[in-house]
Amino acid sequence: MRTVGFFKRLLIMIYDGLLLFSLVFLSSALIAAIFKFVLAPEALMHVTTSETLPTLNHTGRLIGTLLVAANAITVSVIYFGWFWTHGGQTPGMKAWNLYLIKPDGKFVDWPLAIRRCVFAALSWVALGLGFTWILLNRRQRAWHDILSNTQIVHHKPSQQ
């Protein structure tokens, strides 16, 4: 089974990262607008003059920031989870005809996709060390590959 090296996976991360950034940006802008102009109660707003639009106070900005952060996490998990569970490929992986599989050659299910997302976040939190581990691992696996027992490969699985 041919594995995928560091630089190709870096290109996949850039490709998917740009798409994901767009989705997170658009959905966060929508959530921010809804929160600020529709859902934010008066207690979270303050008006400096009668001629200006009301703005969020400190508590309102904190709640808004938490909503946008929760949105980014949710959109990311849905993005990766959907593509991994429906064909084993994100758009970035599809560009190079790569697949995410389990040891039995099948695509991942939702619980495994969510675990893989959590482990990938840990790889990022460790200043990217989990991703650069691909350079040291003989099977070219990152921490999240090892912890979730998955592999990115060059061939399409025979079974789904």
List the one residue out of 138, 92, 140, 87 whose CA is nearest residue 113.
87
| Packed helices 110-125 and 58-85: angle between N→C axes, nearest 10 degrees | 120
Torsion sign over Cα 106, 109, 112, 115: positive
Per-residue confidence (pLDDT) for residue 31, from 0 to 100: 85
Q: Which residues of the chain carry a pLDDT beneath 50?
A: 160
Q: Where are the domains of the chain?
A: 6-153
Q: List, for residues 79-111, the tens digit of each pLDDT value.
A: 999 999 999 999 999 999 999 999 998 999 999
Task: Note the pLDDT of residue 101.
Answer: 94
Q: Return the C-alpha torsion angle 24, 25, 31, 32, nearest 10.
A: 140
pTM of the model: 0.84
